[in-house]
Structure 1
Amino acid sequence: MLAEVLVFVPSVSNFRRQWLMERMAAAQIAALAAEAAPGGQLPSTLRNELLEQAKVKAIAVKRADSRILIIEMDMAADIDASYDLRHASWLTLIADALMVYVAPDDRIIRVVGEPGFDEGEFIEVVMGEAPLKAAMIRYGLDILGLSILISIITAALVYLSLDALLVKPMTKLTWNIVRFSERPEDPSRIINPSSRRDEIGTAERELSSMQRELAETLSQKTRLAALGLAVSKISHDLRNMLSSAQLLSDRLITVKDPTVQRLVPKLIASLDRAIRLCARTLDFGQAQEIAPRRQRFELAPLVTEVGDSLGLPRPKLIGWSVDIEEALEVDADRDQLFRVLSNLCRNAVQALESQDEAAGEIVVAARREGSVTVIEVADTGPGVPERARAHLFKAFQSVARKGGTGLGLAIAAELVQAHGGNLTLLDTEGGAIFRVTIPDLVVELDHARRLSA
């Protein structure tokens, strides 16, 4: 709109000036004809015809400081406004042009100008403003129609540009999001980003990346759900088999062999632990771990039990060292902490078995740091690859060996977090050191008094 106004106003002003100059040129021609007449007098019929052709009421020519009235109509008219086109500025011309639209139709104006036929000569004409106003209205309407046409063409081009550059790409994005939401597990519904480098192209690439991550996550969740169903079935049958094995192991107590007497309690404890694990279906793929049943107990015997369950030490193959004070206690769920240390030590055993060197060593150390128990499981194996560290504690990201499920570290991290602690991998030159931190349980005094009462 502002652009149209800036175009319309100077155009109308220039049209008015050109129209008046054309009238003055026609008046000057009429004046030359009048001067050429015998005695400078024209018949009234010819005079009126010349004034009609020039569309003026009177014509006066000024030469060499003399002003001569050449032609005028029989009836003199009162002049309502005078305009001098010789020295008028653009602002004056614009203001005069706009005034024409609001002025009365019957105004009589006097116009002074230099048509340019002879140097130093200027001409004055008296004329009615109605023809000028009618011509300017027609010109304004033409400009308006042309502006509307240009606006329509411009609007169509803008619409087509916006439709091609924004609307259609946004419609495509919206359609793809709706389509992907119907079946997010279908990789064929992931958007194929274009090569655009603007915000639309960035949105397409980010949406494609997000959809791929979501599809992979859903695929993994589906596999986990299937695994959980399989584990629940296996757990049911395995619990029955372990119960039978437990009944048979109870009879070994009557055997007098010292070795049997030493191993039977550990065997029964392992079977009891396995049966409880199956009964609760505590597996990563099927069920959430139950809240820890915490109690204070000595840590060294539990670590020794872990080593016995893994057959450690293994002479000339894997060394086994426990650096824990006998009196050191930990506040934790005994069964869950056994599973944490068992998973960490089993991973260490598998790492040592995968290396070419003939022998290696596993060291379990523990200490107290205030109200926190710190346990470190170290091995002299090949260590953890750098590319595996980012997803070390995620399910199905096996690190120690091929064929592993990749659940050991994920389960261990979940159990430690349930205790309010952390499981981290320390940076070392060689081998691997996993650190477990378990803070003591903070018991509110009021709650403790109620329990003791």
Structure 2
Amino acid sequence: MNAKAERARGIAGGRLARLLRPLRGSLSRRLLVLTILFVMLAEVLIFVPSVANFRLNWLEQRLAAAQIASLALEARPDNMVSPALREELLRNAQVYAVALHRDDARRLVLSEDMPPMVDKSFDLRGTTAMNLIMDAFETMFEGEGRIVLVTGQPRFGAGESIEIVFDETPLCRAVIQYGKNIFLLSLVISVITAGLVYLVLHFVLVRPMRRLTGNMVAFRRNPEDARRVIAPSARADEIGVAERELSLMQKEIRATLTQKAHLAALGAAVSKINHDLRNILASAQLISDRMGTIEDPAVQHLAPRLIASIDRAIDLCTKSLRFGRAEEPAPQRRKVTLASLADEVAEAAWAETDPVRWINDVPPDLIVDADPDQLFRLLLNLARNAAQALMEESAERTRGGEIRISAHRADDHVHIDISDTGPGLPPRAREHLFEAFSGSGRADGTGLGLAIAAELARMHGGHIELVRSDASGTTFRICIPDDAGTPRDCGEAELVAGQSA
């Protein structure tokens, strides 16, 4: 039995799904069907009390007719009429019997000799709306041939009550016919209303929505085609706003894609030029090295400057090619002792920077969760920038400087500060500090070091910020969160650490 019931439910569910399938793919179909259903629901709310009110009016008319028939008894002193007149009065009133109660002592009765047995009694005095509705549906579904007794209030104060006995068949047929008429009228009203609402909403909402969705699909397939950009209408409602915003967004996307394509083509061209130029400069470097062995004083004076210029050109080509490569690989994070890594950075950056002092102020036991190779490159870029700034100042003012690296843990972050005693960054460099080819503080710089360092920090979930830069020096702060921690802003992490302390 359970298997059969499950199979029957599955068949019913499949049929229902097939019936609802057309409604899932079209907003217009849903709108039409839902409008008809909602209007029909509203008509049902009107239909139910309408049927009950129709039955009540029908019974009141029958009571009024019976009351008029009973008044014929008033004309006779003995309150009796002839059988022929009685039959005619009852036939016109369409009842089997009528009893009009004047008071406790007087009662006018007009009835057949053998009235039928009563099957159901109804009292219309003081009845509620819910009882009227239930009685109306009982009349509709009970069927024909039932004899009922109805008690009501006589009209115009003619007595205390009036009772009639009649066959409910005519009432049942009248209620059913009235229900059919109301249903058909409701259906016609629903279809007409749904059609009008559908047409209005179709032209006001559905067609513009189809235009928007069709344009978005077409634009996604070929965003570079200028013809796919939607032409907004002059509507002032939400649809008009959506069209205008979509048009602006598509134009911005097209401009961005065009710019990206141009930059990609330009980057490819620059990469090729840099590659060839680096090879040419490498050959020039060999020639300059041989010129350094010539004993001519003029050559000895110019050779170092030529070698330095070639070295800077080769370094620019190398950094440009490195920056133009694809995205950096994901960090391979592990626990790293920061103090030892800082010493490796000092050895790599201080090969030719004797006038500059390096101070490693990192706690020996401080562990950072990072990719050691990428963190090494990050620190090396910042350290070389600071060393170059100090070397230029040392050449101009005949004095050296110092670079200090320090670090501390703040909750689930490690903050690394790199400070120097240089002259500070110029205002132009601060505006585009971490942008490639824009944020360099030197006239011959490219800004690639800071851009690469910022990218490496972001790949670790952290960032770099400029803490200070003035005449007394510059300080950069690197924020590296632990791999299992929740990234927060450096200032927020320090605040949490201070509160916990």
Pairwise TM-score range, normalised by the shorter structure: 0.5 to 0.7
Please tell me whether residue 253 in structure 1 is matched to residue 285 in structure 2: no
1:267 shift after superposition = 4.0
Specify the code of the residue in structure 2 equivalent to 1:16.
R
Which range moves more in the overlay, 18-27 or 184-193?
184-193
Residue of structure 1 in register with 2:90 after alignment: 51
Structure 2: state its 5+ residue gaps: 1-39, 331-343, 363-374, 409-415, 481-501
Question: Which of 172, 175, 182 is the matching residue for 1:143?
Answer: 182
Please give the alpha-carbon distance, in whole angstroms, between the structure 2 residues aligned to 1:281 and 1:89: 91
Cα 1:365–1:139, aligned 2, differ >3 Å: closer, same or farther? Answer: farther
Which range moves more in the overlay, 156-165 or 231-240?
156-165
Residue of structure 1 in register with 2:131 after alignment: 92
Please give the alpha-carbon distance, in whole angstroms, between the structure 1 residues aligned to 2:188 and 2:399: 87
Specify the code of the residue in structure 1 equivalent to 2:141.
V
Q: Give % identity.
A: 42
1:236 shift after superposition = 4.7
Residue of structure 1 in register with 2:164 after alignment: 125
Cα 1:227–1:375, aligned 2, differ >3 Å: closer, same or farther? Answer: farther
Q: Is the 8 A contact 2:420 2:473 kept in 1?
A: no
SS of equivalent to 1:86: coil
Specify the code of the residue in structure 2 equivalent to 1:383.
P
Residue of structure 2 in register with 1:366 after alignment: 403
Question: Which of 297, 322, 325 is the matching residue for 2:357?
Answer: 325
Higher helix share: 2
Cα 1:269–1:287, aligned 2, differ >3 Å: closer, same or farther? Answer: farther
Please tell me whether residue 297 in structure 1 is matched to residue 347 in structure 2: yes
Cα 1:398–1:179, aligned 2, differ >3 Å: closer, same or farther? Answer: farther
Question: Which of 414, 427, 431 is the matching residue for 1:383?
Answer: 427
Q: Is the 8 A contact 1:289 1:415 kept in 2?
A: no
Residue of structure 1 in register with 2:147 after alignment: 108
Kindly report which structure 2 residues correspond to 1:133-212, keeping only aligned pairs within 5 A, or say none. Answer: 133-153=172-192, 155-156=194-195, 159=198, 163=202, 167-168=206-207, 170-185=209-224, 189-190=228-229, 211=250
Specify the code of the residue in structure 2 equivalent to 1:79.
V
SS of equivalent to 1:238: helix
Please give the alpha-carbon distance, in whole angstroms, between the structure 1 residues aligned to 2:116 and 2:123: 19
Q: Is the 8 A contact 1:284 1:411 kept in 2?
A: no
Report how many aligned residue pairs link the two structures: 401
Please tell me whether residue 341 in structure 1 is matched to residue 385 in structure 2: yes
Q: Is the 8 A contact 1:190 1:208 kept in 2?
A: yes
Cα 1:428–1:244, aligned 2, differ >3 Å: closer, same or farther? Answer: closer
Please give the alpha-carbon distance, in whole angstroms, between the structure 1 residues aligned to 2:316 and 2:246: 42
TM-score, normalised on structure 2? 0.61
Please tell me whether residue 225 in structure 1 is matched to residue 264 in structure 2: yes
Please give the alpha-carbon distance, in whole angstroms, between the structure 1 residues aligned to 2:221 and 2:234: 23
Please give the alpha-carbon distance, in whole angstroms, between the structure 2 residues aligned to 1:338 and 1:90: 87
1:252 shift after superposition = 1.7
Question: Which of 378, 383, 393 is the matching residue for 2:434?
Answer: 393
1:368 shift after superposition = 3.1
1:249 shift after superposition = 1.7
Q: Is the 8 A contact 2:360 2:406 kept in 1?
A: no
Please give the alpha-carbon distance, in whole angstroms, between the structure 2 residues aligned to 1:340 and 1:81: 107
Larger Rg: 1
Cα 1:368–1:111, aligned 2, differ >3 Å: closer, same or farther? Answer: closer
Residue of structure 2 in register with 1:311 after alignment: none
Specify the code of the residue in structure 2 equivalent to 1:425.
L
Structure 1: state its 5+ residue gaps: 305-321, 350-358, 440-453
CA RMSD of aligned residues (A): 5.2
1:19 shift after superposition = 0.8
Question: Which of 467, 476, 479 is the matching residue for 1:435?
Answer: 476
Please give the alpha-carbon distance, in whole angstroms, between the structure 2 residues aligned to 1:162 and 1:74: 67
Residue of structure 2 in register with 1:426 after alignment: 467
